[in-house]
Each structure stands twice: as C-alpha cells, then as structure tokens.
Structure 1
Amino acid sequence: MAKRIVDASQIAAFNAKLATLPAAVRDATEDTNSRYATLMGKRGKKIAPRGEDGDHIADTIKVEPGDPDLMEHVVSVGSDELPYGVPLEFGHVAADGSHVPANPFWVPLTKIFRKRHRTALRRAMRKALKGALGI
C-alpha cells in the first residue's frame, strides 16, 4: 500500500473556514460531536463481547478529546494488554485448531453511529446557522 501524502495547505484552508463560522454554529457542532462520541462509547461498552476471564475489551473503550481546532472527539477500543484486532471481528482459528466464530461489534457500531452523527450534525448546524443569520 502506498504511503498517503497529506496536503497541509488543504488542512489549513479547512481550519480557516471553520474559524469563520459563527460561535453558535461552533458551539452546536462541538456539543453534537461530544454527545455522539459519548453515546457511541456507552453503546460500545454495552454490546462489546465479554469472556469468562476478568479482562474485557469493553473496558478498553475510551472517549477522548481530539483536535480542539477541528472540534473532534475520538472513540477508541483496545489497549496494550487487550489489543482489539481483526480476529475478534471476523473470527479465527484458536491455538488448539478449533474455529472461533466471529463476534463483530465495532464495525457495525461505527457504521450506525456515523449515520446518526452525520444527521444530527447537519440538523444542529442548520438550526444554528438559521438562528445566527436570522432566517
């Protein structure tokens, strides 16, 4: 896979556009991003597979603030002790040769919340823009 080159000028232009938004729109965006990241983290902890031992992948799901200029929040799964991997999502062959069935939860969760977040973000931004512009 070829290494992806990021054009810093496009990122700077995007940040400049974000800075020109009215404060109400930025607040609505930040609130929506924060709310949906928290909801996704809670739902992920609820539906994550749990084993018989004490350590669970659900305990590694974290919601952290991302780049404040972009108003992003990061929902992550996995840690050094419990790395989340493809075997859990798609199934694998255990050390004894038996097949361990797939237990997908992260990919379906991200697909569902991506759609919900996009819709809520559009709604919040439109409402804030209408209020800020007096439409």
Structure 2
Amino acid sequence: MQDGITGELEWQMPRSQSPASSQPDPLRLRVKVWLERGDEVVLSEYRAQLLEAVAERGSVAAAAEALSLPVRTAWKKLREMEAAAGIPLLESGSGGSAGGRSTLTPEAHAMVEAFRRVAGPASDAAERGFADERRRFPR
C-alpha cells in the first residue's frame, strides 16, 4: 500500500454465451481509497456512508437502521474512527423517550467532504489510465 491507495486488477470471467450476452465483460481496474493513521483506518467508503447517514438522520440508531447495521456495530465503527482520527467526530445528546440525537462535528464534516472530493476522482483516474492498457488484453 502506498499513500492509502491500493489498486487491484479485476479479471472478469466471460458472461454466459446466451444470445442476450455474447460478449465477455471488459477488464476493469478497481481502486479502493481510504484514510489511515498508522495502521488504523480512519475513513473509507463504508465509514463515510455511516457518517453521512448519521448527519442525514440525526442519530446513530437511525443511521444504522438505514444501512442495515446493528446499532452496536455502528457505534463500534464510530469509536474506532474517532480513536484513529484522534478527534471527536460526533456530538451526541442523551436518549430518553425521544431517543438520542447525534450530529457530526465540523471536523467530521470536513473530513468526509475532503474524502468525497478525492476518492471518486482517484477511481476515475485509475480507470482512465487503464483504458489504453486494456487494449493489450484479449477480449
């Protein structure tokens, strides 16, 4: 791994030779991007989605439900992110009959926004860079 970006070459098997699909799927270069500190993941696509869901829904429980995650798992991932980042990512209010409320800290918003600005273009650049190389492989 270098600079938090890894690439993996994905060889795709040909689709079934049915009339509707007689061409094999093309080769694609896939890239996963994440932020890390030391060996600890701070932010990845999955974790960014969790933070965005908390911001949108106003609670960890509602975010977990929207992402089909157990609430306990969502809280565990959020605590892992905060520990790795070294900063608070959530501002939470106590529960009660109405349930707890959580919002992202300004730092969490900034981190997710920066991740979104870089992750998509990094994947796009990898795919564009592989376009010429793809021609060298049999279809």
Return the TM-score normalized by structure 1: 0.36
Return the TM-score normalized by structure 2: 0.35
Indicate the structure with greater helix content: 1
Indicate the structure with greater strand content: 2
